[in-house]
Protein backbone atom coordinates (compact mmCIF):
# COMPACT_ATOMS: atom_id res chain seq x y z
CA UNK A 1 0.00 0.00 0.00
CA UNK A 2 1.57 3.28 -1.17
CA UNK A 3 1.42 6.11 1.31
CA UNK A 4 3.88 8.59 -0.19
CA UNK A 5 4.91 9.30 -3.78
CA UNK A 6 7.08 11.99 -5.28
CA UNK A 7 7.20 12.41 -9.03
CA UNK A 8 9.72 14.16 -11.19
CA UNK A 9 8.97 14.85 -14.81
CA UNK A 10 11.38 14.21 -17.60
CA UNK A 11 12.39 17.78 -18.44
CA UNK A 12 13.82 16.71 -21.81
CA UNK A 13 10.32 15.93 -23.07
CA UNK A 14 7.40 18.32 -22.93
CA UNK A 15 4.89 15.57 -22.16
CA UNK A 16 4.02 15.34 -18.49
CA UNK A 17 1.57 12.54 -17.87
CA UNK A 18 0.09 11.56 -14.53
CA UNK A 19 -1.86 8.61 -15.94
CA UNK A 20 0.16 6.15 -13.86
CA UNK A 21 -1.25 7.54 -10.62
CA UNK A 22 -4.51 5.71 -11.21
CA UNK A 23 -2.72 2.54 -10.05
CA UNK A 24 -2.17 4.13 -6.62
CA UNK A 25 -5.77 4.65 -5.43
CA UNK A 26 -4.76 4.40 -1.76
CA UNK A 27 -2.04 7.07 -2.14
CA UNK A 28 -2.06 9.49 0.82
CA UNK A 29 0.70 12.01 0.01
CA UNK A 30 1.73 13.35 -3.41
CA UNK A 31 4.52 15.83 -4.07
CA UNK A 32 4.56 17.32 -7.55
CA UNK A 33 6.86 20.31 -6.94
CA UNK A 34 8.99 21.74 -9.77
CA UNK A 35 7.41 19.71 -12.56
CA UNK A 36 6.28 22.54 -14.85
CA UNK A 37 2.68 21.36 -14.57
CA UNK A 38 0.14 23.76 -16.04
CA UNK A 39 -3.59 24.32 -16.20
CA UNK A 40 -3.99 21.06 -18.15
CA UNK A 41 -3.22 19.09 -14.96
CA UNK A 42 -5.56 16.13 -14.60
CA UNK A 43 -5.32 13.83 -11.59
CA UNK A 44 -7.11 10.49 -11.42
CA UNK A 45 -9.49 9.82 -8.55
CA UNK A 46 -7.39 9.57 -5.37
CA UNK A 47 -9.90 9.11 -2.53
CA UNK A 48 -7.26 8.64 0.22
CA UNK A 49 -5.01 11.56 -0.77
CA UNK A 50 -4.74 14.00 2.14
CA UNK A 51 -1.52 15.87 1.23
CA UNK A 52 -0.77 17.48 -2.15
CA UNK A 53 2.01 19.91 -2.96
CA UNK A 54 2.14 21.57 -6.37
CA UNK A 55 4.76 24.21 -5.55
CA UNK A 56 6.72 25.96 -8.30
CA UNK A 57 4.70 24.81 -11.29
CA UNK A 58 2.91 26.79 -14.01
CA UNK A 59 -0.63 26.79 -12.68
CA UNK A 60 -2.60 29.97 -13.45
CA UNK A 61 -6.29 28.94 -13.41
CA UNK A 62 -7.04 28.59 -9.71
CA UNK A 63 -10.78 27.96 -9.99
CA UNK A 64 -10.37 25.09 -12.47
CA UNK A 65 -7.71 23.47 -10.28
CA UNK A 66 -9.79 23.75 -7.10
CA UNK A 67 -12.91 22.37 -8.77
CA UNK A 68 -10.87 19.45 -10.10
CA UNK A 69 -9.27 18.76 -6.71
CA UNK A 70 -12.65 18.89 -4.95
CA UNK A 71 -13.87 16.22 -7.35
CA UNK A 72 -10.90 13.81 -7.37
CA UNK A 73 -9.39 14.29 -3.87
CA UNK A 74 -12.26 14.40 -1.36
CA UNK A 75 -10.00 13.69 1.65
CA UNK A 76 -7.53 16.53 0.89
CA UNK A 77 -6.41 18.37 4.05
CA UNK A 78 -2.96 19.76 3.16
CA UNK A 79 -2.43 21.76 -0.04
CA UNK A 80 0.47 23.93 -1.14
CA UNK A 81 0.52 26.00 -4.34
CA UNK A 82 3.40 28.38 -3.60
CA UNK A 83 5.43 29.51 -6.59
CA UNK A 84 2.52 29.38 -9.05
CA UNK A 85 0.86 32.37 -10.71
CA UNK A 86 -2.42 31.12 -9.23
CA UNK A 87 -1.01 31.73 -5.74
CA UNK A 88 -0.53 35.50 -5.39
CA UNK A 89 2.55 35.85 -3.25
CA UNK A 90 4.79 38.87 -2.67
CA UNK A 91 7.86 36.66 -2.98
CA UNK A 92 6.91 35.55 -6.50
CA UNK A 93 5.41 38.78 -7.89
CA UNK A 94 6.11 42.33 -6.77
CA UNK A 95 2.63 43.30 -8.01
CA UNK A 96 0.97 41.17 -5.31
CA UNK A 97 0.54 42.08 -1.66
CA UNK A 98 -0.76 40.55 1.56
CA UNK A 99 -4.37 41.45 0.70
CA UNK A 100 -4.15 39.48 -2.56
CA UNK A 101 -2.88 36.48 -0.62
CA UNK A 102 -5.68 36.77 1.96
CA UNK A 103 -8.30 36.82 -0.82
CA UNK A 104 -6.62 33.79 -2.39
CA UNK A 105 -6.73 31.87 0.90
CA UNK A 106 -10.39 32.77 1.41
CA UNK A 107 -11.32 31.57 -2.09
CA UNK A 108 -9.36 28.32 -1.73
CA UNK A 109 -11.01 27.58 1.62
CA UNK A 110 -14.42 28.30 0.11
CA UNK A 111 -13.76 25.74 -2.64
CA UNK A 112 -11.98 23.19 -0.39
CA UNK A 113 -13.55 23.59 3.08
CA UNK A 114 -11.84 20.49 4.56
CA UNK A 115 -8.32 21.92 4.29
CA UNK A 116 -6.36 22.11 7.55
CA UNK A 117 -3.18 23.60 6.07
CA UNK A 118 -2.77 25.83 3.01
CA UNK A 119 0.70 26.79 1.77
CA UNK A 120 2.43 25.64 4.97
CA UNK A 121 0.14 27.78 7.17
CA UNK A 122 -2.52 26.33 9.40
CA UNK A 123 -6.08 27.31 8.50
CA UNK A 124 -7.60 29.33 11.34
CA UNK A 125 -11.20 29.21 12.50
CA UNK A 126 -11.57 32.87 11.54
CA UNK A 127 -10.37 32.17 7.97
CA UNK A 128 -12.79 29.25 7.70
CA UNK A 129 -15.72 31.41 8.86
CA UNK A 130 -14.82 34.23 6.47
CA UNK A 131 -14.56 31.72 3.60
CA UNK A 132 -18.11 30.55 4.29
CA UNK A 133 -19.44 34.11 4.16
CA UNK A 134 -17.26 35.80 1.54
CA UNK A 135 -15.33 33.05 -0.24
CA UNK A 136 -17.49 32.97 -3.35
CA UNK A 137 -16.79 36.67 -3.92
CA UNK A 138 -13.01 36.43 -3.56
CA UNK A 139 -12.39 35.01 -7.02
CA UNK A 140 -10.04 37.20 -9.03
CA UNK A 141 -11.62 37.86 -12.40
CA UNK A 142 -9.50 39.19 -15.22
CA UNK A 143 -11.23 40.76 -18.21
CA UNK A 144 -10.79 38.85 -21.44
CA UNK A 145 -9.03 40.91 -24.06
CA UNK A 146 -10.17 40.24 -27.61
CA UNK A 147 -7.83 40.62 -30.57
CA UNK A 148 -10.03 43.48 -31.87
CA UNK A 149 -9.56 45.50 -28.67
CA UNK A 150 -5.78 45.19 -28.73
CA UNK A 151 -5.54 46.10 -32.43
CA UNK A 152 -7.84 49.14 -32.31
CA UNK A 153 -6.60 50.79 -29.12
CA UNK A 154 -2.95 51.79 -28.80
CA UNK A 155 -1.25 51.01 -25.52
CA UNK A 156 -1.63 53.85 -23.07
CA UNK A 157 0.76 53.83 -20.15
CA UNK A 158 0.05 55.96 -17.11
CA UNK A 159 2.54 58.71 -16.38
CA UNK A 160 2.31 61.35 -13.65
CA UNK A 161 3.98 63.93 -15.91
CA UNK A 162 1.90 66.62 -17.61
CA UNK A 163 1.22 65.97 -21.30
CA UNK A 164 3.68 68.70 -22.39
CA UNK A 165 6.53 66.99 -20.51
CA UNK A 166 6.00 63.49 -21.90
CA UNK A 167 7.93 63.95 -25.14
CA UNK A 168 11.67 63.42 -24.83
CA UNK A 169 12.40 66.20 -27.33
CA UNK A 170 10.46 68.87 -25.41
CA UNK A 171 12.01 68.25 -22.02
CA UNK A 172 12.32 71.24 -19.67
CA UNK A 173 14.35 70.40 -16.62
CA UNK A 174 14.36 72.15 -13.28
CA UNK A 175 17.49 72.96 -11.34
CA UNK A 176 17.43 74.09 -7.75
CA UNK A 177 19.64 74.43 -4.72
CA UNK A 178 18.93 73.36 -1.20
CA UNK A 179 20.40 75.14 1.81
CA UNK A 180 19.80 72.24 4.20
CA UNK A 181 22.99 70.97 5.81
CA UNK A 182 22.97 67.58 7.45
CA UNK A 183 24.85 67.47 10.75
CA UNK A 184 23.79 64.00 11.87
CA UNK A 185 23.61 64.81 15.58
CA UNK A 186 20.42 62.82 16.20
CA UNK A 187 21.04 60.04 13.71
CA UNK A 188 21.15 56.47 15.02
CA UNK A 189 23.50 55.54 12.21
CA UNK A 190 26.22 57.87 13.46
CA UNK A 191 26.59 56.46 16.95
CA UNK A 192 29.34 54.09 15.79
CA UNK A 193 31.27 56.67 13.79
CA UNK A 194 34.00 58.61 15.52
CA UNK A 195 34.49 62.34 14.87
CA UNK A 196 37.85 61.72 13.15
CA UNK A 197 36.05 59.48 10.59
CA UNK A 198 33.66 62.26 9.43
Contacts by 178-187 with C-beta closer than 8 Å and gap 24+? none
State how beta strands 117-118 and 78-80 pair: parallel
Better pLDDT: 109 or 176: 109
- Looking at residue 40, which CATH number applies to its domain? 3.80.10.10
Total structural domains in the chain?
1
Residue 79 DSSP class: E
* Residue 37 dihedral angles phi and psi, to the nearest 5°: -75, 140
Q: Is 178 domain-assigned?
A: no
Q: What is the pTM for the complete model shown?
A: 0.64
Judge whether 82 lies within some domain.
yes
Inside any domain, residue 150: no
- CA 196 vs. chain centroid, Å, equals 50
- Estimate the crossing angle of helix 125-134 against helix 98-111, to 10 degrees: 80
34-38, 71-75, 90-94: lowest mean pLDDT where? 90-94
144 falls within a domain: no
Q: Domain span at residue 105?
A: 4-137
Amino acid sequence: MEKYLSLSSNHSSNKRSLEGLSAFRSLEELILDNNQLGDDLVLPGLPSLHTLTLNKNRITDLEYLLDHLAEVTPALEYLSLLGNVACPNELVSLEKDEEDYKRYRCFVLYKLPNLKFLDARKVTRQEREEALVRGAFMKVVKPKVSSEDTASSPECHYTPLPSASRELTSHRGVLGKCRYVYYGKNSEGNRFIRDDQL
